[in-house]
Amino acid sequence: MLSNLATRDVETLLHPYTNLDAHRSTGPLVLERGEGVFVYDTAGKPYIEGMSGLWCTALGYSNDELAEAARAQMGRLPFGHLFSGRSHDPAIELAEVLKGLMPVPTSKVFFTSSGSEANDTQVKLTWYYNNALGRPRKKKIIGRQRGYHGVTVATASLTGLPANHADWDLPLPGFLHTACPHHYRFAQSGESERAFSERLAGELEALILREDPETVAAFIAEPVMGAGGAIVPPEGYFEAVQAVLANYDVRFIADEVICGFGRLGTWFGSEALGARPDTISFAKAVTSGYVPLGGVSVDEPLYEAMLAESRKLGTFGHGTTYSGHPVACAVALKTIEIYRRERIVEGVAAKAPHFQARLSRLAEHDIVGEARGIGLIGGLEIVADKASRAQYEPKAGVAARCVAFAQGEGLIVRFLAGDRVAVCPPLIITEAEIDALFDRLARALDRTRDWIR
């Protein structure tokens, strides 16, 4: 029997990334409030938010300073746009702060309201750039199988997940996918991480050559793949890939929507993994998820090309009503101030060894094949047979069941394709809370094993 709220939900709400049929009988988990790393449902039951919402609430819940920053900006200038040269101080100040933080040479910052819009902007800027340079054929963009970059027509095309393509008439032509850098699943027997990285770089090069380098404009990658399985790349991966990109004048877009702002114990994931992109997409933790904000860094060559187009066409014909929304920018400024003042990024680096040690221990569990992560992100894979790495039938929904058991134990984690379970708690989590999280996850795995047998 669904509660009143649940019934109203089922009757009125369409839920993203939800089995709409199953939802009619299971109903929603309705959350009411949050405090620190905990969220509470309508019956008052607490859960450790082991996913930071959707990889975003880095400062946890009920941060009064963020609420006050939003309130103050709402009272002062609740809306202001950046069209036609209009501006406001929160956007200017945030652009300055971000320009200083970016680990890549950055000339300007362009704001969006989401990660999808940020990556969509990257696609358009890539095309615009090559038109400005008189290279109208250089337009194809390479993503990766299992990569996740959003849901707009272009970013779902960049994404390499079946659910984002099947029956959506995607990907669009001109969007290609290279191999997923998941050593545990895709390395050949005995292949070292470095050898696997070299092989993948070779496959990327073969793809570029097959397509004709004169037609390939950009490559996009998350430092750690999030929605595709919380997958850490193998040793030497970005080094090998970058050498190929440089050879064929292919721009590198780092999608830092999850990894940006401390997740890996560095300000940006690129820094932790030796990636040297031309441009970065960010969103999520830039406001700790409290209000929607995303954006992209624009390097000087790209900006020069945009300037030339403005001289030719009379305007930069791109932007949304909420690009640089003042409330979002004010909250982002406060979020970054707190990250700095509370030394949040250093805190992640300090807590990561404990988090990763607890995660690795789960690899000893009977039904876990791999448990691996970096910083405060981790992914584990449930397997039917540890030795052969054989998986359960996708229809069995084993990881989904594990996540449901975790919920019963008072822990929110997320299941992903390939029977993977992701963990990505708020960056403010304490060591005792990390222990509680993994104790609960271990119990959920026990219950999953008992359910299977």
Residue 428 CB, nearest approach to ligand PLP (Å): 20
In this chain, which of 103, 143, 150, 426 binds ligand PLP, going by CB under 6 A? 150
* Contact between 230 and ligand PLP per CB under 6 A: no
Strands 377-382 and 420-423: antiparallel
Residue 149 binds to ligand PLP (criterion: CB under 6 A): yes
- Does residue 121 interact with ligand PLP by CB under 6 A? no
| Member of 258, 327, 423, 442 binding ligand PLP (CB under 6 A) | 258
Tokens linked to 248: 């064929």
| Span from 28-36, 123-131, 147-155, 404-412 in contact with ligand PLP (CB under 6 A) | 147-155
Q: How far is the CB of 159 from ligand PLP (least distance, A)?
A: 8
Other C-beta atoms closer than 10 Å to the C-beta of 77 total 13
Contact with ligand PLP (CB under 6 A) among 198, 255, 419, 433: 255
Smaller CB separation from ligand PLP, 377 or 383: 377
In whole angstroms, how close is the CB of 265 to ligand PLP at the nearest point? 18
- Window contacting ligand PLP (CB under 6 A); options: 164-172, 206-214, 222-230, 312-320: 222-230
Listed in sequence order, the residues at least 6 apart from 432 whose beta carbon sits closer than 8 Å to its beta carbon are: none
Our CB check for ligand PLP shows the closer of 367 and 421 to be 421
Residue 148 binds ligand PLP (CB under 6 A): yes
- E strand residue ranges, 44-127: 46-49, 108-112
Nearer to ligand PLP, 226 or 265 (CB): 226
Least separation in angstroms between residue 220's CB and ligand PLP is 9
Between strands 420-423 and 411-412, the pairing is unpaired
Compute the distance between CA of residue 34 and CA of residue 60 in angstroms, rounded to an integer: 8
With CB under 6 A as the contact rule, the residue among 52, 57, 116, 297 that binds ligand PLP is: 116
309 neighbors 128 (Cβ within 8 angstroms): yes
Binding letters toward ligand PLP, positions 274-293, x by CB under 6 A: ---------x----------
Closest distance to ligand PLP from the beta carbon of 11 (Å): 25
For residue 93, give the 3-state DSSP assignment: helix
Q: Does 114 engage in binding with ligand PLP (CB under 6 A)?
A: yes
Question: Angle at the Cα of 223 (from 219 to 228), degrees rounded to 5?
Answer: 85
Structure tokens at 289: 């998820």
Element of type H or E holding 326: helix 326-341
Say whether residue 254 binds ligand PLP (CB under 6 A).
Answer: no
Which helix H or strand E contains 346, and what residues bound it? helix 344-361
Our finding on whether 381 is near ligand PLP (CB under 6 A) is no
Taking Cα atoms as reference points, which of 214, 211, 205 lies closest to residue 137?
214
Sign of CA dihedral 333, 334, 340, 346: negative
Q: Which two tokens stand for residue 280?
A: 């970065």
Residue 257 interacting with ligand PLP (CB under 6 A) = yes
DSSP helix/strand/coil, 75? helix
What residues contact 150, with CB distance under 8 A and at least 6 apart?
A: 114, 115, 116, 117, 118, 119, 120, 156, 158, 159
Q: Which span sits near ligand PLP by CB under 6 A: 93-101, 113-121, 342-350, 429-437?
A: 113-121
The two structure tokens encoding residue 177: 């996918």
Give me the DSSP letters along 163-174.
GGTTTTT-SPTT
* Choices 85-93, 221-229, 295-303, 413-421 (CB under 6 A): range interacting with ligand PLP: 221-229
Query: What are the residues binding ligand PLP (CB under 6 A)?
Result: 54-55, 114-116, 119, 148-150, 222, 226-227, 255, 257-258, 283
